[in-house]
């Protein structure tokens, strides 16, 4: 068996080894457990009642393919047809690989005919956020320096779902480097590909930065996507597009091959996770992409706990309808009602429900995060641009850099210490609860052509975005699932709720989100 250093490869550094030092047997065991759970879930009965191929959950589709009721070729052709039908209006998929997908589907069907099954996602078509490398497919990260960049290997998460049998159809739109959009445009947008549009209302925002991912999944153009979340970039699109998304616990999923990967002062903020129409798919896909890859030195070999084993009757739930950290952008009535409905549904199903929040901690965390994210005066972003040879960067980020006032080293360290102290305070508060419910954003999807709210960070989705609601949980590193629990008063726009738990308790997040999905109905087919 190769040593850890050998697996790191010739490019592995001493820092890689020291920070990633973990028992190989523990990592292997965690991977084995995750694989076994994924296989078991693939065999378990889906609760999805949808019969139309392009709208059923990935879990159900995988089961239908394994039962030979649907072929991989049929699934690929159905999703390609759907993308061709809707993408001109949505601009969610910015690069396709249809020819390769057709060949892979045929090869998988040939294997199935011989009784050979590749994995839990055998034949399931997907898209992938353009910030993640995809071998042989142009992967721009929405920046001009990579406009013709073709990776020679997949990002770790992409490689893992492909190894499990998923078939890539194309790459989905994102702001530049997932961090910089177009000034005045509050959706996934960039200079290369333009703006993506919400399938429930084409004038509305997809949110960002996994906006193309959220939109195409909601519209039935892919069974699932994998996005990244630096401050709400999975959860915002899940909310705006009415689907389910998970930001796993920090360092559960390796970031290798993502355009903003790992290392540095922001190391623990960035998490990768799937976006799906149904919560059951989060439980299928997340363990497949989890676990160390011996490149992302922070990634931890923590086993995946089964959400089906969670006893809701033992859970204590806290909730809020308005985060005091965004007092100037008070939550609208439709969003408040949605959170209250979710809390009400849980009464009787759990041990207790209480309206409570660590208000001062949330405010302090938001303040520390704001200082840290702007404190280098945009140097982090400029290094990314230089790395990839981009000379014309995002106008929104260019303006933010020009306006930024760098902190001194002492001020940066102080903000970092304040963030970590808040993390400890949050854990102490959470001792009284198992689950925390709160809004994703202060309103449903907003109009695209609208100036960002004051202080909004680039790529955040603009007005109504959820940075003060969501970014705090990137700082803590806690797992969060978003599930659709309501709609705007006119019934047209979806509204999601964040289901938050303590570190490594994705099982609790998913169990509670599954219950809420059953009560609300979850994802609903858009008009497009």
Query: Over the stretch 311-335, which tens digit does the pLDDT of each residue have?
Result: 999 999 999 998 765 554 578 999 9
Is residue 528 a part of any domain in this protein?
Answer: no
Q: What is the mean pLDDT of residues 164-187?
A: 94
* Catalytic position from the list 46, 205, 233, 514: 233
Q: Is 131 assigned a catalytic role?
A: no
CA distance 26 to 301: 7
pLDDT tier for residue 183 given thresholds of 50, 70 and 90: confident
CA distance 488 to 198: 14
Q: What is the mean pLDDT of residues 380-391?
A: 95
The answer on pLDDT for 274 being more than 50 is yes
Report the SS3 class of residue 347: strand
Quote the pTM value: 0.91
Is residue 248 a part of any domain in this protein?
Answer: yes
Q: Is 129 assigned a catalytic role?
A: yes
Is residue 184 a part of any domain in this protein?
Answer: yes
Phi, then psi, of 320 in degrees rounded to 5: -135, 155
Q: Which of 332, 258, 338, 328 is nearest to 298 (CA)?
A: 258
Q: Tell me whether strands 494-500 and 435-439 are parallel, antiparallel or unpaired.
A: antiparallel
Q: For residue 304, how many C-alpha atoms fall within 13 Å in the half-sphere facing its CB?
A: 28
Report the pLDDT value the prediction gives residue 37, as an integer from 0 to 100.
52
Query: pLDDT, tens digit, for every residue of 237-246?
Result: 999 999 999 9
Number of H helices, E strands in the chain: 17, 13
Q: Is 209 assigned a catalytic role?
A: yes
The answer on pLDDT for 468 being more than 80 is no
Q: What is the mean pLDDT of residues 299-320?
A: 97
CA separation (Å) from 268 to 173, 255, 297, 477, 526?
A: 24, 10, 11, 7, 35
CA-based R_g, the chain, Å: 21
The 8-class DSSP code of residue 212 comes to H
Burial-class residue 340 by CB neighbours within 10 Å (0-12, 13-18, 19+).
Answer: middle
The answer on pLDDT for 134 being more than 90 is yes
Report the pLDDT value the prediction gives residue 185, as an integer from 0 to 100.
87
* Catalytic position from the list 205, 209, 373, 514: 209
Cβ density class 212-223: b for 16+ within 10 Å, e for less? bbbbbbbbbbbb
Is residue 307 a part of any domain in this protein?
Answer: no
The answer on pLDDT for 156 being more than 50 is yes
The 8-class DSSP code of residue 449 comes to B
Q: How far is CA 165 from the centre of its chain?
A: 21
Q: What is the mean pLDDT of residues 250-264?
A: 93
Query: Which residues are CB-contacts of 51 (< 8 A; sequence separation ≥ 6)?
Result: none
- What spatial distance separates the first Cα and last Cα of the chain, rounded to whole Å? 52
Min mean pLDDT across 53-62, 81-90, 179-188, 289-298 is at 179-188
What total number of domains does the chain contain?
1
Report the pLDDT value the prediction gives residue 38, as an integer from 0 to 100.
53
Q: Name residue, tokens 């193309």.
A: 212
Q: What angle do CA 341, 44, 26 make, to 5 degrees?
A: 95
pLDDT tier for residue 8 given thresholds of 50, 70 and 90: very low
Q: What is the mean pLDDT of residues 186-209?
A: 96
Q: What angle do CA 523, 71, 32 make, to 5 degrees?
A: 75
Min mean pLDDT across 77-81, 195-199, 319-323, 493-497 is at 319-323
Please state, for a pLDDT cut of 70, what percent of the chain lies above it. 87
Query: pLDDT, tens digit, for every residue of 24-81?
Result: 444 444 444 454 455 445 556 899 999 999 999 999 999 999 999 999 999 999 999 9
CA distance 189 to 178: 10
More confident residue, 346 or 11: 346
Strand partners, 347: 350
How many CB atoms are closer than 10 A to CB 34?
Answer: 21
> What order do you get walking across the sheet with 316-319 strand by strand?
224-229, 271-276, 244-247, 480-487, 494-500, 435-439, 316-319, 352-355
Report the pLDDT value the prediction gives residue 400, as an integer from 0 to 100.
87
Burial-class residue 41 by CB neighbours within 10 Å (0-12, 13-18, 19+).
Answer: buried
Min mean pLDDT across 20-24, 427-431, 502-506 is at 20-24
pLDDT tier for residue 453 given thresholds of 50, 70 and 90: low
CA separation (Å) from 419 to 335, 373, 408, 518?
A: 28, 12, 17, 36
Answer whether 235's CB lies under 8 Å from 247's CB.
yes
Q: Which of 249, 365, 231 is nearest to 304 (CA)?
A: 249
CATH of the domain at 190: 3.90.1300.10
Report the SS3 class of residue 195: strand
Is residue 308 a part of any domain in this protein?
Answer: no
Q: Name residue, tokens 């209480």.
A: 354
Phi, then psi, of 314 in degrees rounded to 5: -100, 0
The answer on pLDDT for 196 being more than 90 is yes
CA separation (Å) from 127 to 168, 282, 402?
A: 6, 15, 35
Is residue 402 a part of any domain in this protein?
Answer: yes
The answer on pLDDT for 135 being more than 90 is yes
The answer on pLDDT for 22 being more than 60 is no
Q: What is the mean pLDDT of residues 257-266?
A: 89
* Catalytic position from the list 46, 57, 60, 129: 129
Is residue 310 a part of any domain in this protein?
Answer: no
More confident residue, 419 or 462: 419
The mean pLDDT of the chain is 90
Is residue 306 a part of any domain in this protein?
Answer: no
């Amino acid at each position: 068996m190769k040593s850890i250093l050998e697996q790191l490869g010739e490019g592995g550094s001493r820092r890689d080894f020291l920070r990633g030092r973990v028992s190989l047997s523990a990592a292997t065991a965690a991977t084995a457990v995750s694989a076994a759970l994924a296989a078991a879930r693939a065999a378990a009965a889906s609760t999805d009642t949808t019969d139309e191929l392009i709208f059923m959950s990935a879990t159900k589709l995988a089961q239908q393919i394994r039962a030979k009721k649907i072929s991989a070729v049929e699934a690929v052709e159905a999703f390609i047809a759907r993308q061709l039908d809707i993408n001109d209006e949505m601009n969610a998929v910015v690069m396709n690989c249809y020819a390769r997908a057709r060949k892979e589907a045929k090869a998988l069907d040939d294997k199935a005919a011989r009784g050979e099954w590749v994995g839990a996602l055998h034949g399931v078509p997907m898209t992938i956020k353009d910030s993640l490398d995809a071998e042989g497919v142009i992967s721009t990260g929405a920046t001009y320096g990579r406009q013709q960049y073709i990776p020679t290997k997949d990002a770790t998460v992409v490689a893992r779902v492909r190894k499990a049998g998923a078939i890539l159809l194309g790459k989905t739109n994102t702001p530049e480097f997932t961090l910089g959009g177009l000034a005045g445009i509050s959706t996934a947008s960039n200079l290369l590909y333009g703006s993506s549009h919400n399938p429930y209302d084409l004038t509305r925002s997809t949110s960002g930065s996994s906006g193309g991912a959220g939109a195409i999944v909601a519209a039935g153009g892919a069974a699932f996507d994998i996005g990244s979340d630096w401050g709400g970039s999975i959860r915002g699109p899940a909310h705006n597009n009415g689907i389910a998304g998970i930001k796993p616990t920090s360092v559960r999923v390796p970031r290798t091959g993502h355009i903003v990967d790992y290392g540095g002062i922001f190391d623990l903020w960035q998490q990768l996770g799937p976006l799906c129409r149904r919560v059951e798919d989060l439980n299928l896909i997340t363990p497949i992409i989890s676990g160390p890859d011996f490149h992302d030195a922070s990634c931890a070999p923590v086993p995946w706990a089964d959400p089906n084993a969670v006893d809701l009757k033992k859970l204590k739930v806290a909730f809020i309808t308005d985060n005091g950290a965004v007092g100037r952008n008070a939550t609208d009535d439709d969003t408040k009602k949605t959170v209250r409905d979710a809390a009400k549904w849980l009464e009787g199903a759990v041990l207790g429900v209480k309206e409570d929040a660590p208000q001062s901690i949330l405010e302090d965390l938001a303040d520390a995060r704001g200082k840290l994210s702007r404190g280098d005066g945009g140097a982090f972003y400029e290094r990314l641009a230089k790395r990839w040879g981009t000379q014309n960067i995002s106008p929104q980020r260019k303006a933010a850099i020009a306006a930024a006032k760098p902190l001194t080293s002492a001020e940066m360290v102080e903000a970092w210490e304040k963030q970590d102290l808040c993390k400890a305070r949050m854990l102490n508060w959470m001792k009284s609860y198992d689950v925390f419910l709160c809004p994703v954003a202060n309103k449903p999807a907003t109009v695209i052509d609208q100036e960002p709210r004051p202080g909004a960070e680039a790529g955040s989705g603009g007005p109504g975005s959820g940075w003060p609601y969501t970014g705090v949980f990137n700082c803590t590193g806690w797992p969060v699932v978003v599930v659709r629990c309501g709609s705007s008063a006119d019934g047209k726009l979806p509204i999601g709720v964040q289901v938050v738990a303590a570190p490594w308790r994705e099982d609790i997040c998913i169990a509670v989100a599954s219950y809420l999905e059953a009560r609300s109905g979850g994802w609903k087919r858009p008009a497009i």
